[in-house]
Amino acid sequence: MDKLSEIKIGISACLAGDKVRFDTGHKRSNFCMDDFANHVEYVKFCPEVAVGLPIPRPTIRQIKVGDTIKVCRPDGSGDVGPKLNEYGKKVATEQAKHLSGFVFCAKSPSCGMERVKIYNEAGTGNTSEGVGFFAQQIMAHNPLLPCEENGRLNDPHLRENFVMRVYVFKNWQNLILTQIGLHELTQFHAKHKYLVMSHNYESYRALGRFLAQSSDMPIEQVKHEYIAGLMKALSSPASRKNQTNTLTHLQGYFKNNISKIEKQELCGAIDDYRQGVVPLCVPLTLLKHHLTVHPNEYLAQQVYFDPYPNDLRLRFSI
């Protein structure tokens, strides 16, 4: 696994516990700062302070005026929208390329990823279809970067999926630090094969076909299309059905090595997971036990078994 200093995550400063909110408060994320912080290094951003707003400060909101959206005080004054866009673009193009993920503050007019309130000019109503100006620039200029909001990280499936994507993306960033060819790219895919299968079986097949048929393509194009396809395939939490299918595939590697009773135990654990009786870590622990007793070099390199540090306990709840 990557060491602490090797994985850098962008984070809204208020989520790190910094007292930078309009009321001098914060919105510290316990998961980010108590659990995930043991494995990553955070790079903190407060775009509102960065563009010159003081602490404390009047609240700001997104207000639609004609065809334009302002980020300003409720009375319409003090629009900082252009400054937030400019700052967001600067961070997106200069600093975000060194990050492996980003955690934004939900519903913020500067940092919200989605469902940000946009008020009408009279202040009598709003819709929840906005995106924070800073967050929008980060995501637009870095479409592959794993991003999530603090509130959504309370969902165990979304939390696990975000952390998994951070580690996969970091693996990719490490890979392309050196000049690679189709062989290295194919090896990378082989290690992530069952992880992709657990999320999207069609993508698993499509990515394999793409690499097999890409020998005549420029390697930079192959790299670009492959990582785009990989991150898209992993963009949503794996379904119980897809996980069960993957576990069953992995079980097949041991059919000639384990006893009848051990087979029944493993089948039972996978079926209990399928029915929601036990979490994913139960059948996975059994598979890893059999892999230890009956080594298989191909399976041993599969990222699926340990996509992130085990002490995060993310598979205990899914």
What six digits make up the tokens of 27?
């919105």
Judged on CB neighbours under 10 Å (0-12, 13-18, 19+), 143 is: exposed
pLDDT tens digits, 158-188: 999 999 999 999 999 999 999 999 999 999 9
pLDDT tens digits, 91-129: 999 999 999 999 999 999 999 999 999 999 998 889 999
Q: Answer yes or no: pTM beyond 0.85.
A: yes
pLDDT tens digits, 275-297: 999 999 999 999 999 999 999 99
Going by DSSP bridges, is the β-strand pair 8-12/41-45 parallel, antiparallel, or unpaired?
parallel
C-alpha 134/C-alpha 92 separation (Å) is 9
CB atoms within 10 A of CB 227: 19
Q: What does the pLDDT read at residue 124?
A: 87
Q: What is the mean pLDDT of the chain?
A: 96
Q: Are 188 and 223 in contact (CB under 8 A)?
A: no
Q: What does the pLDDT read at residue 207?
A: 98
Q: Find tokens 């980003």 and name the residue.
A: 102
- Helices (H), ranges, the chain: 30, 47-50, 81-94, 133-141, 156-175, 182-191, 193-199, 201-212, 219-233, 240-251, 260-274, 281-293, 297-300
Q: Is 60 left (phi over 0), alpha (psi -120 to 50) or beta?
A: beta
Domain ranges of the chain: 4-154, 246-316
Residues of the chain short of pLDDT 50, as ranges, are 1-5
What six digits make up the tokens of 279?
């979490």
